[in-house]
Amino acid sequence: MERLTTVFRHLNSPNVVLREVAASTGSFQRKPDDIVVVSALRTPITKAKRGGFKNTYVDDMLTAVFSGVLADTGLSPSDIEDVCVGNVNNPKTEVAARVAQFFSGMPETVPVYSTNRQCASGLQAFMNVAGSLKTGQCNIGIAAGVESMTKSPLGGGSFEFNPRMSEDQRAMDVLIPMGLTSENVAERFGITRQQQDDFALVSQQKAAKAAASGLFDAEIIPVTTTVEDAGGQLQKVTLSKDEGIRPTTIEGLAKLRPAFKEGGTSTAGNSSQVSDGAAAVVVTTRQEAVRRGLPVLGVLRSFAVMGCPPDIMGIGPAVAIPEALKKAGLTVRDIDIFEINEAFASQARYCVEKLGIPADRVNPKGGAIALGHPLGCTGTRMIATLLHELKRRGKPARGVVSMCMGTGMGAAAVFEYQGAN
């Protein structure tokens, strides 16, 4: 608890609060060097090992979203000057990214690389491209995220951990399975099984309503792939809907057994789903977007990464969001939508309550409990989900994308939708 108190101490400083309140009245300014998103699309998210992408290669999922954002913007593949792909567990992602680049028509002169910041990998890919724009390394780039949890070794192979880790408890805590960190958050902060199930039910209900209303259609690009059926035959299918959304009742959730430890409260129903999927966004500066006649979907306002105790890694958004808001000169009440990754209901609910976020501003179209959490894809997917929802509402507004990360960190980014160009 002493470590946690230290993490939050700076957030409770009166000076910090006063600075946030004083700056929160700022208008939606437009500057030539603003980092902007001009396209953001994703694949449907499918169930790992048994869903529509179980036989699909990582490079093919990436090809779909690369091709999708190029078609959406009308950009030539040769216009892209850098590509960064977030991924967590798929070996040789840098190879898959390069292959997808070629499959989508980008020439060999376009550089590409991958990055891994755990569950924030997709968001980190976005920030990496944003950084390249700010330093003048490129004028327009693609940030993407992808994960095939079907094809992930998930810690297999011959990798060995440093035996000196046993000398530092914090280092050992890094190895705690994510499910057990969820249980730690629930126990330490009194998040009950009922509260977690209630949170999970709302996520499913929001996602089901959004899907039925076609609210995901603008962000999803249909993907034609092959999938092996029960008889072992490969069938060509076109995927256009998320697979994780399912009819859910509180009674059904209550029947599920704890998934991570005996007597625990985190279950398959109130945790994120193991999933496959990809997403991509085109990132550039406002002046470049204007020069090319590209509509601005969203503007980056700030980004923050903060550490927290590894054994309760799920509190990451609760320490990262205030830092991102402080950098943007905003407060919680200035944000219209918070997209907070639902790795587990325990940690998501805790973060919402800790920061005092109104429930109706959190994941209005549902979160990872309903949609799924393809690790490296999620950060980029959340950008697409946020910006398309802000655009649909049709008025200038602000949103936050945030998630916890394995080993004990949180990341958060603040975006604006400023209306028509």
**Marked catalytic residue, from 138, 308, 377, 404:** 404
**What's the N-to-C CA distance of the chain in angstroms?**
48
Label the pairing between strands 112-115 and 337-340.
Answer: unpaired
**Inter-CA distances, 18 with 11, 21, 230, 335, Å:** 11, 5, 61, 17
Please state, as a whole number, how many other Cβ atoms lie within 10 Å of the Cβ of residue 104. Answer: 23
Active site (annotated) includes residue 377: no
| 3-state DSSP of 266-297 | CECCCECCCEEEEEEEEEEEHHHHHHHCCCCC
Residue entry with tokens 């997403």: 279
Asked whether the beta carbons of 403 and 316 are under 8 A apart, the reply is yes
Looking at residue 9, its amino acid is R
Strand (E) or helix (H) holding 383: helix 375-393
**Marked catalytic residue, from 84, 119, 351, 377:** 119
Active site (annotated) includes residue 404: yes
Asked whether the beta carbons of 80 and 97 are under 8 A apart, the reply is no
Cα distance between residue 328 and residue 223, in whole Å: 37
Active-site amino acid positions: 119, 404
